[in-house]
Amino acid sequence: MNSGIEHPDVLAISRLENMVLLTADKDSGDLVFRQGQRHCGILLIRLAGLAPHEKAEAVSTVVKTHGPEFYNAFSVLNVDSLRVRRDA
């Protein structure tokens, strides 16, 4: 599904709104680490194999528990782990 908004534009909107971007799009890592794009925080959701309601529950739980940690960090939520990488 394509929303019609380019990846750099989505990142720019989240930065302008001072919001953490929740995404399943792996291109966000490329934008941040290879292209040096600034961001307010990204949570990359990698929950392959889970049913949609399980994914929703996992994301809801991690945001409630760790939400403030995601600001100014690149985080990855996997089925069995959460990694939070702070910007230097």
- pLDDT for 51: 97
- pLDDT for 46: 97
Sheet holding 21-23, edge to edge: 21-23, 42-46, 73-78, 81-86
Which pTM does this prediction carry? 0.88
Model confidence pLDDT, tens digit, residues 19-73: 999 999 988 888 999 998 899 999 999 999 999 999 999 999 999 999 999 999 9
Confidence of residue 2 (pLDDT cuts 50, 70, 90): low
Instruction: Please say if the pLDDT value at position 87 is more than 60.
Output: yes
Boundaries of every domain in the chain: 7-86
Burial class of residue 28, CB neighbours in 10 A (0-12, 13-18, 19+): buried
Question: What are 82's two structure tokens?
Answer: 């959460």
